[in-house]
Amino acid sequence: MTKHGLADDIDYLREENAWLRAILFDRAKYLPLEWRLRSGHETVIMAALMAATGILRYEYVGRLMYPTGNEPSNLKATVNQVIHRIRGKILPFDIHIVTHQSVGYSLQPNGKEIAAVWLEKQTLKQPIDC
């Protein structure tokens, strides 16, 4: 295995770890109803963005959306559409998703803190549909 392959494996494991932490970590299990995230794709991607320690890669977002592997042929366009919908729903709460061209997505630097405030103050909760 080349050094580049090892680095990719490490990145994949970091992203997978972040996603698993989002599932296990109590505060990330529930998202505010005010955000109006409806589909399982929207909620699981937002939870992964909140838990990620870096950039959530396009390929990993695709695996979150289609864990069994039956993704559409235009996966990148489908991922972009879902990210676009999430952006529109969380923008009023001053949470922004940053696109890293040809790499993936992340929340803006203070996005996790803003999201954490919403998680703390919410009274109605919506379980993440994985």
**The token pair that represents 2 in the structure block:** 């080349």
Q: What are phi and psi of 94, to 5 degrees?
A: 65, 30
Q: Residue 81: how many CB atoms within 10 A of its CB?
A: 12
> Helix, strand or coil for residue 129?
coil
Angle at 100 between CA 99 and CA 106, to 5 degrees: 60
pLDDT in tens, 35-58: 888 777 888 888 888 888 889 988
Q: Residue 40: how many CB atoms within 10 A of its CB?
A: 13
**CA–CA separation, 64 vs 59, rounded Å?**
9
The alpha-carbon radius of gyration of the chain (Å, integer) is 14
What is the length of the chain?
A: 130
- Asked if residue 60 lies in contact with residue 104, where contact means CB atoms within 8 angstroms, the answer is yes
Is the whole-model pTM more than 0.85?
no
pLDDT band for position 3 (cuts 50, 70, 90): low
Element (H, E) at 13: helix 3-24
pLDDT in tens, 80-127: 999 999 999 999 999 999 999 989 999 998 888 888 788 777 655 555
